[in-house]
Structure 1
């Protein structure tokens, strides 16, 4: 058995392999509802053999959406459509997960294929964004409203309520999105957080809001179900969030009951210089796993079976999360198993096509 196809147990959930479909926004929702697109998109990856499938960032509130077309979990009415999907994923051997998110100052944008530009509050489909501080993401962009105590309380409540809906919808892993320049990352980074109250200034203050949300979600998320947090391990910018900050945060989150750190990077600065290349973010997962003593997931240009196997076999991370490669090949796990000489069962409907040599 290859290490990539060895099982992993976190709390009471066993993943039958270490391959994860990373949360990828599809911008295919109307009023936050899951559609047939989501069923086919996520369902095909379950047929393809992924151990864990994390549905895209689900907005905890309408104003937390990146675009007007984001998936949502701010209403009980969203539950049935998602439950249809989780039932299919579980029936086909995958653990269903979902990412809960608030975009903060990066909310209210057009979809990428529509230009991805910010929609100002006075424009059609636009709304007023919020953030730790009244700082635009990009020069000339909309200025968010700095969150007051009432706004902070509402966001904590919205995360907790969304987690309860995720549970009702059948998800077994929930991931809090604190990466890519979205709201919780905005609190972490001194570049975007210039508050002078208990949520700004020192490291301890800047991580406070995320830690409060973790406590809120962990309090209602079953003790036998895992809780993940996605972070940007670095801002790639002087004066920003650093890998050492990420290690320190991860150690704190481990004590709070977080089970795995999903290690991405960037997104909080428009023009950061990022040395993109195969596996360029894997060292962050390795450092956090080693120094904070918590399981990690590796992401970023992981494109081959051999590369994924090496990451797991060498102990750099506990899971590999695939995004673009999963889009290119929904059946990557089945193909990877064949490449690595690890005989995996195929869906009986596809058995006739399974390679035999």
Structure 2
């Protein structure tokens, strides 16, 4: 059996393979209400039919203000639970697991009205100026993440992923490039971690299932966080009960990145080996042999595919064929598999 198709058990959840659909925003809530649409049902369920082991729903906002765009999915209201629960049922019917990434865009939000951040520092010269969160507003935002996790649990998701990457709000708190606070939430690495720590602790009080955190393990700026700092943060996450660190990079500031297939895999490998926690690798991974090498070599435990699964929803079938692994077809497709 190819290592890519080995099962993996995290807490009480067993994934049938190591292939994960990475969260990717669809910007498809045309009514701007954050509710699941027919597009989401078709989009995610098709990847479950394609035999992806774990599907992670796109960044789903914990507050209306925290949306990246007004077309984003939301989980800030109990009214969102029904649609999300239907999405979970559809994916489960196809023998796949499903997670949800809960998120707040912070200063990168493009919604109308005021936006919030750790400090009143815009993302770029052309970006809207954010308002610095007060201590009370920080507490309210922590509560919004915890409430979102409770709704995710109610909807039946198998995994919750906290979005702490790509320059969004949690990443902004973690980074000295965006966090210029001098209170209990900024000033040094420990205090910058406090916002994420409180979110993880709050979620862990109401959620005992698999908990992932997506990070930007390198900010690509000489004054920003590097992999060494994120190894330390990963150790803290492990101590708090985080099960897996999903290792991406960049976007807290506009800074050039040299991207190539697997360019972020060394971050997943470093955190896995040095922090002793499960990791996911992501970043221009398209070829089955490459994905197999990552898992077989112990560099990461899961392989997250993004754009490749937009191009090819049945990528696991192609990977199995390339790796000489016999992958059972959905019974409806047996004649053509």
Name the counterpart of 1:176.
Answer: 162
Aligned length: 335
Name the counterpart of 2:256.
Answer: 273
Name the counterpart of 2:110.
Answer: 108
Correspondence for 1:244 among 224, 228, 231? 228
Q: Using the TM superposition, name which of 75-84 and 6-15 deviates more.
A: 75-84
1:61-106 CA distance string (max 9 Å, x none): 1000000000000111111111111111111111110000000000
Name the counterpart of 1:14.
Answer: 14
Q: Using the TM superposition, name which of 253-262 and 133-142 deviates more.
A: 133-142
Correspondence for 2:303 among 320, 324, 336? 320
1:5-41 CA distance string (max 9 Å, x none): 0000001100000000000000001310010000000
Shift of 1:140: 3.5
**Whole-Å separation in 1 of the counterparts to 2:154 and 2:309:** 27
Correspondence for 2:190 among 198, 204, 207? 204
Correspondence for 1:285 among 239, 250, 268? 268
**Whole-Å separation in 1 of the counterparts to 2:127 and 2:65:** 17
Shift of 1:197: 0.6
Shift of 1:273: 1.7
Q: CA RMSD in A?
A: 0.7
> How is 1:93-242 mapped onto 2 (pairs within 5 angstroms)?
93-108=95-110, 126-222=112-208, 225-242=209-226
1:303-357 CA distance string (max 9 Å, x none): 0111100000000000000000000000001111111111111101111112xxx
SS at match of 2:222: coil
Name the counterpart of 1:119.
Answer: none
Shift of 1:251: 0.4
Name the counterpart of 1:4.
Answer: 4
**Whole-Å separation in 1 of the counterparts to 2:261 and 2:2:** 21
**Whole-Å separation in 1 of the counterparts to 2:290 and 2:113:** 43
Q: Which runs of 5+ in 2 are unaligned?
A: none
Q: Which runs of 5+ in 1 are unaligned?
A: 110-125
1:206-264 CA distance string (max 9 Å, x none): 11110110000111012xx1000000001101100110011000000000000000000
SS at match of 1:168: helix
Name the counterpart of 1:329.
Answer: 312
**Which stretches of structure 1, 4 residues or longer, exceed 3 Å deviation after superposition?**
none
Name the counterpart of 2:247.
Answer: 263
SS at match of 2:215: strand
**Whole-Å separation in 2 of the counterparts to 1:141 and 1:17:** 41
**Whole-Å separation in 1 of the counterparts to 2:126 and 2:51:** 45
The answer to whether structure 1 residue 39 and structure 2 residue 41 are counterparts is yes
Name the counterpart of 1:92.
Answer: 94
Q: Using the TM superposition, name which of 84-93 and 279-288 deviates more.
A: 84-93
Q: Normalized against structure 2, the TM-score is what?
A: 0.98
Q: Normalized against structure 1, the TM-score is what?
A: 0.93
SS at match of 1:320: strand
1:115-140 CA distance string (max 9 Å, x none): xxxxxxxxxxx121100000000114
**Whole-Å separation in 1 of the counterparts to 2:126 and 2:234:** 34
SS at match of 1:23: coil
**Whole-Å separation in 2 of the counterparts to 1:53 and 1:22:** 7
**Whole-Å separation in 2 of the counterparts to 1:342 and 1:61:** 44
Name the counterpart of 2:237.
Answer: 253
**Whole-Å separation in 2 of the counterparts to 1:190 and 1:149:** 18
SS at match of 1:353: coil
Shift of 1:275: 1.2
SS at match of 2:101: strand
**Whole-Å separation in 1 of the counterparts to 2:10 and 2:262:** 24
